[in-house]
């Protein structure tokens, strides 16, 4: 067997399909985010402004977060030294879980090393707890949910994205007596559109299904304490399992579910992705707990975040650039073909010091290739002006279409 040749074939397939990914090597500058240093493939360095990060509120460089991490390292060292079961449960993990349970007004929360693992581990474990379970999953759910649903061996139904009529049809077609769970997201990160939370909760109630909501792109940013869209809409009590990340708006790392004490106890006891892996470093848990606690009262950051997103959308629309606007903080600019998207991204980086990763198929459908901007409270007017003016110039340079301007 020629293993190298097989690897070449696999990689070449990606090149041929235009799906080969290259990573940009950046180093964020402490205290100066969104400014960072880009190390080019030839080893030279250049300053860049990051416009596609998920540290949505700049919490990764917040003093209270860094202080908490420094203190925890000084107090307890680097790693946790074990799985949660075998010596890896520390006071830092317990404190963070209590902070998260309180955030979502649930009895308990359960920490995982990422929200990806939390989704995968929980969704793949549910059929062990509820034999015969059918999972109804939104067609555009994140890869981690798809993976959990795929691996769980139970029955699955995929409903068209945000289509509650289709979901109802599927629910009606199944035996009313089998256990069911509906898995969906509050904000879909590629278009920035919201899930129909209330309608799905109504359907779940009508058909006796559990609700599983991924709030990864909403926690910290929506709701009066950062509890997400379900908190904003007064629906947290109707969601059985809430999934969130500590790596985006909270600026650190890790993922979790928040649910009833019994649900957390069962997942804790049955999910291999929780049991058989080393727990997060205490310093990470300490930083995340400080971040969650901070954002419970930092409404001004949520307000500034929305203001920044609103300004960017308004300015891009004003230039006739085809953005998608669903009223969330995510600003996708549709370019519509992979070559132009890559070219725009390359020129923004090399000629303007602006870093925004191109988003191509299969992450988004062909013909909707895009640049996806994530403005934050730490992107000031200078950064915004530079971005808008560079996009204006490059859009003309590439002779791309603009929308008709009203008036």
- CB-CB contact of 171 with 180 (8 Å): yes
Residue with tokens 């202080």: 67
Calpha distance 167→149 (Å, rounded): 16
One of 144, 186, 360, 376 touching ligand PLP (CB under 6 A):
144
**Nearer to ligand PLP (CB atom), residue 120 or residue 383:** 120
- CB-CB contact of 321 with 403 (8 Å): yes
One of 59, 65, 247, 323 touching ligand PLP (CB under 6 A):
247
Closest CA to 255 of 93, 116, 91, 58: 116
**Nearer to ligand PLP (CB atom), residue 185 or residue 240:** 185
Calpha distance 318→2 (Å, rounded): 56
Count the site residues for ligand PLP by CB under 6 A.
14
34 cis-preceded (ω within 30 degrees of 0)? yes
- CB-CB contact of 170 with 136 (8 Å): yes
Is residue 214 a contact residue for ligand PLP (CB under 6 A)?
yes
Is residue 137 a contact residue for ligand PLP (CB under 6 A)?
no
Interacting stretch for ligand PLP, rule CB under 6 A, among 25-33, 113-121, 151-159, 161-169? Answer: 113-121
The 370-373 sheet, strands edge to edge = 331-334, 370-373, 358-359
**Nearer to ligand PLP (CB atom), residue 288 or residue 394:** 288
One of 38, 116, 159, 395 touching ligand PLP (CB under 6 A):
116
Q: What residue spans of 193-281 are helical by DSSP H?
A: 197-207, 229-232, 261-270, 272-275
Residue 380 CB, shortest distance to ligand PLP, in Å, is 26
Interacting stretch for ligand PLP, rule CB under 6 A, among 132-140, 200-208, 210-218, 384-392? Answer: 210-218
Q: Scan residues 167-206 and list those touching ligand PLP (CB under 6 A).
A: 185, 189
Residue 320 CB, shortest distance to ligand PLP, in Å, is 29
Binding site for ligand PLP (CB under 6 A): 114-116, 119, 142, 144, 185, 189, 214, 216-217, 245, 247, 255
């Amino acid at each position: 067997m020629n293993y190298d040749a097989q690897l070449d074939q696999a990689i070449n397939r990606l090149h041929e399909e235009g799906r080969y990914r290259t990573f940009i090597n950046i180093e964020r500058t402490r205290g100066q985010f969104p400014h960072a240093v880009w190390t080019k493939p030839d080893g030279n360095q250049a300053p860049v402004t990051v416009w596609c990060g998920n540290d949505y509120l700049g919490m990764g460089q917040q003093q209270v977060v860094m202080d908490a991490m420094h203190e925890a390292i000084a107090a307890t060292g680097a790693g946790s030294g074990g799985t949660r079961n075998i010596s890896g449960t520390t006071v830092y993990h317990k404190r963070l879980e209590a902070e998260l349970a309180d955030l979502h007004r649930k009895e308990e929360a359960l920490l995982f090393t990422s929200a990806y693992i939390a989704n995968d581990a929980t969704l793949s474990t549910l059929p062990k707890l509820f034999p015969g379970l059918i999972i109804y999953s939104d067609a555009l759910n994140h890869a981690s949910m798809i993976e959990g649903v795929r691996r769980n061996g139970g029955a699955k139904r995929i409903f068209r994205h945000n289509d509650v009529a289709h979901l109802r049809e599927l629910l009606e077609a199944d035996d009313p007596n089998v256990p069911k769970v509906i898995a969906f997201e509050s904000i879909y990160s590629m278009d920035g559109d919201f899930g129909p939370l209330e309608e799905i909760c109504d359907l779940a109630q009508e058909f006796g299904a559990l609700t599983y909501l991924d709030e990864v792109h909403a926690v910290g940013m929506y709701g009066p304490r950062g509890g997400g869209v379900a908190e904003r809409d007064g629906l947290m009590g109707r969601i059985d399992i809430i999934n969130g990340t500590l790596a985006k708006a909270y600026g650190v790392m890790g993922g979790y579910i928040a649910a009833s004490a019994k649900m957390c106890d069962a997942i804790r006891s049955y999910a291999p992705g929780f049991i058989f892996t080393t727990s997060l470093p205490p310093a990470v848990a300490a930083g995340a707990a400080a971040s969650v606690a901070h954002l419970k009262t930092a409404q001004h950051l949520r307000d500034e975040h929305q203001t920044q997103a609103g300004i960017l959308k308004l300015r891009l629309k004003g230039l006739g650039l085809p953005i998608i606007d669903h009223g969330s903080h995510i600003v996708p600019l549709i370019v519509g073909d992979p070559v132009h998207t890559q070219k725009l991204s390359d020129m923004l980086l090399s000629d303007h010091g602006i870093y925004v990763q191109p988003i191509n198929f299969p992450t988004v459908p062909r013909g909707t290739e895009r640049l996806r901007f994530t403005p934050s409270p730490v992107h000031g007017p200078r950064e915004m002006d530079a971005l808008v003016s560079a996009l204006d110039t490059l859009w003309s340079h590439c002779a791309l279409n603009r929308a008709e301007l009203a008036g």
